[in-house]
Structure 1
Amino acid sequence: MTPLVANRAAALALLGDPIRRALYRLAAEGDLTRDGASAALGIPRSTAAVNLDRLTDAGLLVAEFRRLTGRSGPGAGRPAKVYRVATTELVASIPERHYELAAELLAAALERAERDRMPVREAVAEEAFATGAAVGGGHDTLEDALDACGYAPAAGGEGDLVLENCPFHQLATRHTPLVCGANVELVRGLAAATGDDREPVLAPREGRCCVEIRARKDAAEQRRSARYPAQ
């Protein structure tokens, strides 16, 4: 996996945290200080500082020290650390889309196919799984990882998950076999990295992502047995 895709995956993992996501959105609205972030979100200043610096280390924000009074010299006060967004490409859309992630994934797959002399679709599948694993490694649960990627997971029956949103909707509409194949491999990577034993499968349905996550049959049977014990 290329560094560009790895950086994108790390950014998605970071923004999966609600506090960091809120801080990023505040910084997108204008210069943000630690005190301002603390007041806006009602969190301790130390918490704001740690998370702002993590976003800066990931390249999502840039920081500089500046005297906010506009004065200099003795009595002007200490400079404050001011944060602003490093790029506008990660500002969320509604419904949430991540076309830049798809572009990076497909470009990396083409490079892999040429380098390793392998079929393009096989390279796409491998890059998609690796990207999902990189994103999933930053989350405790599959649901959190899916939410960070914009899939909007919702509970189905018997432990299943349906994905209410496709983050690659337009691409999936125009290039369905290629993009949906990448989609299911990316979700499989998320599941593997979060240790979730449910199975992502292709299950196209109008108005939703083409992928669903199905509980293994044995696990579903155990839940039914617990709910309706034999008389």
Structure 2
Amino acid sequence: MEKAGSAVTAVAALEDDLRRGMYDYIRRARRPVGRDEAAEAVGISRKLAAFHLDKLVDAGLLCARYAPLDGIRKVGRTPKVYEPARTDIRISIPPRRHDLLAEILLDAVLTEGDQENAAQAAKRAAREHGHRLGAAERERTRPGRLGAERALTRAREVLAEYGFEPDREAPDCVRLRNCPFHPLTARSPELVCGLNHAFLSGFLTGFEARSVEAVLEPRPGECCASLRSA
């Protein structure tokens, strides 16, 4: 998942016309591009092009390596070449995670069982996605036994990265202030809120946060769910 801070840094790097011009040129080239060629594309010196290209690398928009251009090895130092990074850069304010919802629905379509309807398959897929996230986070952090206080704190930290904008509303409650699936929720609130609840429940199960549960508490302009001490 692309973090919001990284995405903002990447977009800010493209504010400069020269950087944006070289980035567009390299994307269209569909092959490694050297500094001389990039410089010529926007009409600047090789030295200045090198500065801007490396800034694009630092922002995560380009990848750089040393390789012969056109596959021809020449005498002297191997040139530095640039290619587009294989990452998507997206910014949404407030945060949205339509890609996550799409993954859940795709998994539901591909794995729907004979005894399930579409909605049941989607909720199962959402729960499985959440469970994988929670299990991976538990494996990464190895938090040991989780009481309600610690579980709510850790869940808040993780779900913030997914755009839920969690807020410690009370000692026993983390309120999710933002719906990452909006505005799709407005088209089918029962389905999307059900998927959201299943995802959060799966996350808590995978994280082994038995002292916390996800509850549906819809409020206008906010996520439909809260996390509460069980």
Shorter-chain TM range is: 0.5 to 0.7
- Contact kept? 2:123, 2:198, Cα under 8 Å: yes
Q: Mark the runs of 5 or more structure 1 residues left unpaired by the alignment.
A: 1-11, 42-51, 53-60, 217-231
Q: Deviation of residue 110 (structure 1)?
A: 2.7
Q: Deviation of residue 83 (structure 1)?
A: 6.2
Q: Mark the runs of 5 or more structure 2 residues left unpaired by the alignment.
A: 15-22, 27-49, 68-72, 142-153
Q: Which residue of 1 aligns with 2:94?
A: 95
Partner deviation per Cα, 1:179-198 (whole Å, 9 max, x = no partner): 00000111112222233231
Q: Deviation of residue 136 (structure 1)?
A: 2.9
Q: Which residue of 2 aligns with 1:203?
A: 217
Partner deviation per Cα, 1:80-113 (whole Å, 9 max, x = no partner): 475633253x512111111122122112213322
Q: Find the structure with the greater CA-based Rg.
A: 2
Match of 1:173 among 171, 186, 196: 186
Residues 202, 112 of structure 1: alpha-carbon distance in 2 compared, 3 angstrom cutoff: same
**Matched pairs, number:** 177
Q: Which residue of 1 aligns with 2:84?
A: 84
Q: Deviation of residue 79 (structure 1)?
A: 4.5
Residues 85, 164 of structure 1: alpha-carbon distance in 2 compared, 3 angstrom cutoff: farther
User: In 2, distance between residues paired with 1:132 and 1:206?
Assistant: 24
1:26 is aligned to 2:10: yes
Residues 74, 132 of structure 1: alpha-carbon distance in 2 compared, 3 angstrom cutoff: same
Which amino acid counterpart does residue 203 of structure 1 have in structure 2? Answer: E
User: In 1, distance between residues paired with 2:58 and 2:98?
Assistant: 30
Partner deviation per Cα, 1:39-97 (whole Å, 9 max, x = no partner): 969xxxxxxxxxx8xxxxxxxx8845247xxxx8444x454475633253x51211111
Which amino acid counterpart does residue 94 of structure 2 have in structure 1? Answer: P
Residues 62, 188 of structure 1: alpha-carbon distance in 2 compared, 3 angstrom cutoff: farther
TM alignment of 1:3-18, pairs within 5 A: 12=1, 15=2
Q: What is the percent sequence identity of the aligned residues?
A: 26
Q: Which residue of 2 aligns with 1:119?
A: 117
2:215 is paired with a residue of what secondary structure? strand
How does the TM-score come out when normalised to structure 1? 0.61
Residues 125, 96 of structure 1: alpha-carbon distance in 2 compared, 3 angstrom cutoff: same
User: In 1, distance between residues paired with 2:83 and 2:201?
Assistant: 36
User: In 2, distance between residues paired with 1:153 and 1:83?
Assistant: 37
How does the TM-score come out when normalised to structure 2? 0.62
Residues 62, 204 of structure 1: alpha-carbon distance in 2 compared, 3 angstrom cutoff: same
Q: Which residue of 2 aligns with 1:158?
A: 171
User: In 2, distance between residues paired with 1:132 and 1:174?
Assistant: 23
